[in-house]
Amino acid sequence: MSENVELDKIKQSIKDLKNRVEEQAHVVSEKAKKVAQDAIHNSQEKVGQLKTVIKKKPLHAVGIAALVGVALGFLFKKRK
């Protein structure tokens, strides 16, 4: 009889642990969704700001893009 009681306690402990893990997984999932939403919002905001700067100073934007292109060209060119 004692073995059944111990087995029932172990089963209950496993169920409790499973429930806690599921609860924590839900909490982590909700936090991850919030972080992702914040990142999307922030990136959209930055893109909007960048568009505004490009419209105000298009020559600066072209110059910066050209410099970045040249720098990347030097970094990735194949060496002979």
Give domain limits for the chain.
2-76
Determine contact, residues 30/22, Cβ cutoff 8 Å: no
Task: Describe the crossing of helices 2-56 and 58-76 by its angle, rounded to 10 degrees.
Answer: 120
Say what the pLDDT of residue 79 is: 63
CA distances from 49 to 26, 36, 38, 43 (A): 35, 20, 16, 10
Q: Return the closest-CA partner of residue 13 out of 5, 2, 24.
A: 5
Instruction: Give residue-wise pLDDT tens across range 17-43.
Output: 999 999 999 999 999 999 999 999 999
**Total-model pTM:** 0.59
**Rounded mean pLDDT, 6-13:** 93
